[in-house]
Amino acid sequence: MIRSADRTRTGAPAAAADLWWQTPPAPPDVQQGLSSAQVATLLQQWGPNRFVETRTPPVWLQFIGHFRNPLVLILLVASTLSALLGEFTNFFIINVIVLLSVTLDLAQEHRAQRAAEMLRQSIALSTRVLRDGTEQSIPLTELVPGDLVLLKAGDLVPADGIVIEARDCFVNQSVLTGESGPSEKRVEVPADACDIQSATHAMFMGSSVLSGSAKLLIVRTGAATEMGSIAGHLGQPATLTAFDIGTRRFNALIMRLTMLMVLIVLLMSLLSHKPWAESFLFALALAVGLTPELLPMVVSVTLARGALRMAREKVIVKRQTAISDLGAMDVLCTDKTGTLTEAKISMQSHVDPLGADSARVLELAYLNSWFESGLHNPMDVAILEHETIDTRDWRKIDEVPFDFERRRVSVLLEKNSARTLVVKGAPADILRACLYYENAGNTLLLDDDGLATVRATCDALEDEGFRVLAIACKAVPPDHPHAVVDDESALVLAGFAAFLDPPKASAGDTLRSLAELGVSIKVLTGDSERVTQHIFHALQLPIEAVVLGSDIEKLDDIALQARTETANLFCRLNPSQKGRVIAALRARGHVVGYLGDGINDAPSLQAADVGLSVDTAVDIAKAAADMILLQKDLNVLQLAVLEGRRTVGNVMKYLMMGTSSNFGNMFSMAGAALFLPFLPMKSVQILLNNILYDLSEVAIPFDAVDNDELNRPLPLDITLVRDFMWVIGPVSSVFDLLTFWILLRLFNANEALFQTGWFIESLCTQVLVIFVIRTRGNPLRSRPHPLLITSSIAVVLLAIALPYTALGVYFGFTPPPASFFGVLTLLVMSYLWVVEGIKQRFFRHRPPMLYASVVPRRRG
């Protein structure tokens, strides 16, 4: 039984000086593992395998937490000041607004969290363990000290532990040590394991297995791991996303407007010698009127509905605000395998350096793939499935695993006491390591003429669309003990293996459809430019320009930024070069998505605005991604892009409608206070107006977005919201002033009739204008959601009926004359007609939105 004596019940990290790996514990039965009863006891004792034992806080704590929103704080300040001034009706109404907003937000957020958690559970990372004598797959959080974990290439190390079995196991633990290269893990305990780097017999949470396999005895889980200790000590907040920055900018805009409006009204009141208390309450009501109380709820519901709709399109959202980034995405970077091709790779030929069929090339390729302990890629599978070769006379001595700098893998084999190094990899990298080549059973010097000949053979295969691997070998002394990178020199080129991955028939049409939606495709591949160009020609896709990894190495960041604008094929790239391309695109103002599923894709997934992976990806790629596609198909991604834009579109609707209407009405009230002998609307009436308007907009998250708006990237553009407010707000104020003149001149209105008439007119115009602003096209051709129609019409009818009720009398309303409603109809229709015309001109003359993704990626 493994004990973590230094660990508390909550998984507190041990002291840094406690180098637990120096005295590894005795393992349990390596054939049986823990029993179910032992697991239950240990899980109860040590808790789940996570850094912090996250428990959902009680509902009352979640409820209180929603009061930290800046918009809610404005309302609470106004409520408190109203109570201090004795205006308890205002106090009551403001608190009703706050409770309505917070309760709706909490209820919708709770539903969204439950739905999101169910979706996340469907793609939760798991690990293979040995329990009760059988191999099982369990969620990472259920891992306990004493478990025996079975690891292979591509797996994330799920917790800290001791290696009890290893087979050519190399891991990347740079997240903990900063090492640039892989670290080999062995069973033998080193003499002086004074730190993580020298603890070659231990593995640590957060590392990833690059090649080989291992059996790991778990010693520490959760916060007691080295990774948990680092995370606990750092405790830094996650970097804000572009969506978070956008909402914060909006909050700041509203707070600045609110403060400005309050100060202007108070100044006007002082100049006109009006009662300061009444004027102050009026100013507070204006502040409340400018506040979009339902913004948190609208954002929560809209993102949650977007995540659920995307799940129906076979896309699981891990980070909900990534939906906004997906809606704004204008560049998608992807490898070609599985997206442009069928990912059904088959071996087509195996030829010598001169192009003749060669059984020896097949044998060497088969031996390399058979004995390689790394993650078998599709070409390894194709080799092993092409033909079965007897390997019983061969014995593996050692291996140099594949990495993305060398782009090759070597195995040291022995047969009949003779040892041979067999190497397989990218042709360009293999040829650089070759000094000889085989020709009709003879070994010849690879001089310039020979090099031109073998390159011509390789180029001919690639021009036909075949993916090519070069196969080489080298005889070594019988006592050669290990294979190292330096052994990969003076090799003998045996020949080439050619593979076919046919173009996906639907890919061409899908890429053209994405281009019509404003999303350009950049192919980032480690493969040859000849193969990639062949696929583009087969799909009838344009080739703008080709950039090679070697070209990128010669460019500085500024030059690379310019180059990425003109090229769409980036070939022979290593992972760091992919990252540079993504960074260059983002620096040019693009919102970049990256689709990847391999070990080498994790850095690129993190570097992009939206990291996209697939359900069949390796663990490290799925962990780095923001969204998981249940199907590696650009058709699925195209549907997800449209859903992302619908989601952002509805958030933008609420912001544009709320700010323009609220700003116009509040500005009118502030101006009217200058020349009227009474307040244009009582503070309690302003609050009632505001709460009714909010109720009319509750259904916005359910509304449709016009197809025209889905045909281009759609960011959360706060600048657009601000400009639209400055344009439409004054139009609303002009019609308010016209209403003032009509009420005073035509109806000779007293205070009560004036406030009643303007209450009805302002509410009718700002509610009904929803149907104009909700679409950028003709509102008669865009059908609103039935719930939006119902809520809006109900609020208008309530506003008209309110003066005829006892509640209306309580709020200071009086029934207007019948002729007022004829004038009201004319005013409202005129207002909607004018707003429609200005709206059309506003969007016609506004340049296409450019979404500069300057916000650092969130990684926590």
**Catalytic residue positions, numbered:** 335
CB 497 within 8 A of CB 467: no
- Spatial separation of the C-alpha atoms in residues 803 and 812, rounded to whole Å: 8
CB burial string 150-172: b at 16+ within 10 A, e below: bbbbbbbbbbbbbbbbbebbbbb
Residue 542 DSSP one-character state: -
- The rounded distance, in Å, linking the Cα atoms of 480 and 482 is 6
Neighbouring-strand partners of residue 475: 420
CB count in 10 Å sphere of residue 289: 23
Rounded to the nearest 5 degrees, what angle is found at the Cα of 726, between the Cα atoms of 723 and 732?
135
Structure tokens at 124: 């939760």
Can you give 552-599 as a three-state secondary structure string? HHCCCHHHHHHHHHHCCEEECCCHHHHHHHHHHHHHCCCCEEEECCCH
Torsion of CA 87, 93, 99, 100, to 10 degrees: -170
Q: How many residues does the chain have?
A: 860
Among candidates 280, 93, 283, 88, which has minimal Cα distance to 691? 93
Cβ-defined contacts of 539-545 (< 8 Å, 24+): 539/340, 539/503, 539/507, 539/508, 539/511, 540/508, 541/508, 541/511, 541/512, 542/568, 543/568, 543/569, 544/568, 544/569, 545/569
The alpha helices in 416-574, defined as continuous H runs, are 427-433, 448-463, 507-516, 529-538, 549-553, 557-566
Q: How many other CB atoms sit within 10 Å of the CB of residue 834?
A: 16
Q: What is the dihedral of CA 19, 20, 24, 28, to 10 degrees?
A: -170
* Identity of the amino acid at 834: V
- Separation CA 770–CA 659 (nearest Å): 12
Distance CA 611, CA 685 (A): 48
Residue pair 685/286 in contact by the 8 Å Cβ criterion = no
**Residue 338, both tokens:** 């599985």
Encode 220-231: b = buried (16+ Cβ within 10 Å), e = exposed. bbbbbbbbbbeb
CA distance 728 to 773: 10
Structure tokens at 753: 């009739």
Short-list 147, 189, 202, CA closest to 2:
147
CB count within 10 Å of CB 537 equals 12
Q: Which long-range contacts (CB under 8 A, 24 or more apart) does 815-821 make?
A: 815/756, 816/747, 816/753, 816/756, 816/757, 816/760, 817/747, 820/747, 820/757
CA quadruple 55, 59, 61, 65: dihedral sign: positive
Task: Find, among 702, 647, 691, 668, the residue nearest to 292 by Cα.
Answer: 691
Q: How many CB atoms lie within 10 A of CB 277?
A: 11
